[in-house]
């Protein structure tokens, strides 16, 4: 996926200090909340420089304290959220796309200069039946070469993750297996997937105490948003969107 860099100046940013204070003086929670916000901002800023829809912001379970301390701001009359620094943070991606576009134009120009004479092209054309066969072969080859997005899950990972979620939320209601699979495929391990959701677990329980159904719904929304963001980012890199 496109990179997420946390620069050195972040650690001394007074807004970070305020965020740490607002989140109970837990630095890891503050840093994690900002990283999640940046990842979600990336999903919408690339490639059309869009702000985060408020529904997506709420669904991801991101701490509103980021807005309070100035690390994000509500825009478009409350409909969207802009994460501070998105313009500068993701500028590298647009520069890379522009460089690629210019390089592609140069290659196309060079290719036109090397084109053979029309008569030679005509002589080299295969028969219609040969063309059909070659086209089919190329299509099959293209399908076979397309990379799968995300990793394949190890045996038992899906069921173990669902079991762990049910234990944490004290519920027997299962998570949809397709949702879990789409979420887990973007992590190297089960532990990494659970660590990423640790902040969301706490917020779900704080927001809906004694209501495991709502906690599960809150958690599912965050998982869905993360999977969608990772898939879109992977496609941008793989296919050059």
Question: Topology of 8-89 in CATH?
Answer: Arc Repressor Mutant, subunit A (1.10.10)
Which ranges constitute the DSSP H helices of 12-156?
Answer: 14-22, 27-45, 54-59, 65-68, 86-89, 91-113, 118-124, 128-145
CA distances from 38 to 2, 6, 35, 193, 194 (A): 12, 10, 5, 18, 19
Q: Which residues of the chain have pLDDT under 50?
A: 1-4, 107, 111, 114-133, 139, 141-147, 238-241
pLDDT number for residue 158: 79
Domain ranges of the chain: 8-89, 157-239
pLDDT number for residue 152: 78
CA distances from 101 to 38, 48, 90, 108, 113 (A): 26, 16, 18, 11, 19
pLDDT number for residue 15: 92
pTM of the model: 0.44
pLDDT number for residue 127: 44
pLDDT number for residue 103: 57
Q: Exposure of 2 by Cβ count < 10 A (0-12 exposed, 13-18 middle, 19+ buried)?
A: middle
pLDDT number for residue 147: 45
pLDDT number for residue 6: 58
Q: What angle do CA 166, 167, 173 make, to 5 degrees?
A: 25
pLDDT number for residue 185: 80
Residues 98-154: pLDDT tens digits? 776 665 555 455 545 544 444 443 344 444 444 444 555 554 544 444 445 667 777
């Amino acid at each position: 996926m496109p990179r997420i860099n946390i620069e050195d100046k972040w650690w001394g940013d007074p807004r970070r200090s305020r965020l740490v204070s607002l989140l109970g003086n837990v630095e890891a929670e503050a840093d994690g909340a900002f990283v999640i916000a940046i990842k979600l901002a990336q999903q919408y800023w690339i490639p059309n420089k869009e702000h985060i829809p408020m529904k997506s912001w709420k669904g991801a379970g991101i701490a509103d304290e980021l807005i309070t301390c100035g690390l994000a701001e509500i825009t478009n009359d409350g409909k969207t959220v802009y994460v501070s620094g998105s313009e500068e943070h993701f500028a590298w991606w647009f520069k890379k796309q522009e460089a690629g576009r210019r390089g592609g134009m140069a290659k196309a120009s060079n290719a036109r200069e090397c084109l053979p004479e029309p008569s030679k092209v005509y002589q080299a054309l295969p028969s219609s039946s040969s063309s059909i066969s070659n086209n089919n072969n190329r299509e099959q080859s293209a399908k076979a070469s397309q990379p799968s997005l995300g990793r394949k899950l190890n045996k038992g990972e899906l069921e173990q993750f669902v079991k762990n979620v049910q234990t944490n939320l004290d519920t027997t209601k299962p998570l949809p297996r397709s949702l879990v699979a789409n979420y887990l495929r973007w992590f190297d391990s089960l532990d990494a997937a659970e660590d990423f959701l640790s902040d969301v677990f706490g917020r779900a329980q704080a927001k809906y105490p004694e209501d495991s159904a709502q906690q599960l719904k809150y958690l599912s929304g965050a998982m869905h948003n993360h999977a969608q963001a990772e898939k879109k980012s992977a496609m941008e890199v793989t296919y050059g969107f």
